[in-house]
Amino acid sequence: GWVQQVRALPLARVLHRLGAGRARAGDPVNPRVGAELLVGTGQHLRAGEPWLRVHHDGTLGAEGRRELQDALCLGPEPAQDPPPLLAETILPSGPPPGHAGAAN
């Protein structure tokens, strides 16, 4: 099928359980845990082609694999208008602190 989207929240939940995130301040983060997305919106995938590479030193398990597969949304046709890679740039409203024109 054609990649319509990859849902970030299921990926984040699985990676968090593997140690990539904190539940509260001070919790350790495992720097060996992460993921590489190997596909983009509008790309065609065939059965068995990899779309995600997960780095971890624990056990992913069947439930984690299912959650990751559920994050990949495929369709019979290419996505009509893939979302832009950059949605918006937000700039500061005034000069940076310490700038010659800034009020102290």
- pLDDT tens digit sequence for 12-68: 999 999 999 898 999 999 999 999 999 998 899 999 999 999 999 988 999 999 999
Determine, yes or no, domain membership for 11. Answer: yes
In a domain, 95, yes or no: no
User: H helices of 22-60, where?
Assistant: none
Provide the domain count of the chain: 1
The verdict on residue 28 lying in a domain is yes
How many Å apart are CA 94 and CA 43, to the nearest integer? 41
Range of the domain at 23: 2-75
Average pLDDT, the chain: 88
Q: What is the pLDDT of residues 69-104, one digit of tens each?
A: 999 999 999 887 766 777 788 888 877 777 665 555
Determine the pLDDT at residue 99.
Answer: 63
Q: Residue 44 belongs to a domain with what CATH number?
A: 3.90.1170.30
**Is 36 part of any domain?**
yes
d(CA 66, CA 7) in angstroms, rounded, equals: 13
Q: Is 81 inside any structural domain?
A: no
Domain annotation covers residue 15:
yes
Is 87 part of any domain? no
